[in-house]
Amino acid sequence: MKALIRNLALGGLLALGAGAASAGVTVKYIEPDKFSDLPFAPWEREDVLRELTDYFTKLGKSLPQGQDLALEVTDIDLAGREYPNSRAARDLRVLKGMADWPIITLRYTLTENGQVLKSGDAKLADMSYLQRINRHWDSEPLRYEKRMIDEWFAKTIVQKRPG
């Protein structure tokens, strides 16, 4: 039974790693099993990758008609540190605001009607993630990573200036 559950979870991760496409956004996770910091449990890892894919897809809906964004995520280090928790079904993630800030490393290509508008490598990081105002609710998963993605997307992809 454990082998079946492990294989199903691994299959889900591989499906996510193969990429997800919607509304002009394609997200691929390059060797997610080697990422710096994802949850220990396979189903939790899958939840994190699905949440990030859904969020990139949501942001991509704001792109003008005909534009497509391809993302290759090469590393993820979530905010805080995860500690095994024997009393609960999920491990415990502790946020201290020290050397545990979120980091996402990715490559991106923005195209319009097949022509490359911009592309590059990006390392998203937020060293002061606990000291800044966040528009995402406290109960929202990955709220610090999402704020970091929001800022990168606005500055790099749609080129909005903070205001």
Which residues span the domain enclosing 17? Answer: 2-157
Query: Does the pTM of the predicted model rise above 0.75?
Result: no
CA 124 – CA 104 distance, rounded (Å): 5
Task: Dump pLDDT digits (tens) for 12-44.
Answer: 444 444 444 434 899 999 999 999 888 877 888
Which of 22-26, 111-115, 135-139 has maximum average pLDDT? Answer: 111-115
Model pLDDT, residue 18: 41
**102 lies in a domain?**
yes
> What is the rounded radius of gyration, in angstroms, for the C-alpha atoms of the chain?
16
Specify the number of domains making up the chain: 1
On whether residue 53 sits in a domain, the answer given is yes
Q: For residue 99, is it within any domain?
A: yes
Query: In 3D, which of 119, 80, 72 has the Cα closest to residue 97?
Result: 80
Q: What is the CB-side half-sphere exposure of residue 147 using CA atoms within 13 A?
A: 22
162 is a domain residue? no
From CA 154, how far away is CA 110, in angstroms rounded? Answer: 13
Mean pLDDT of 46-65: 95
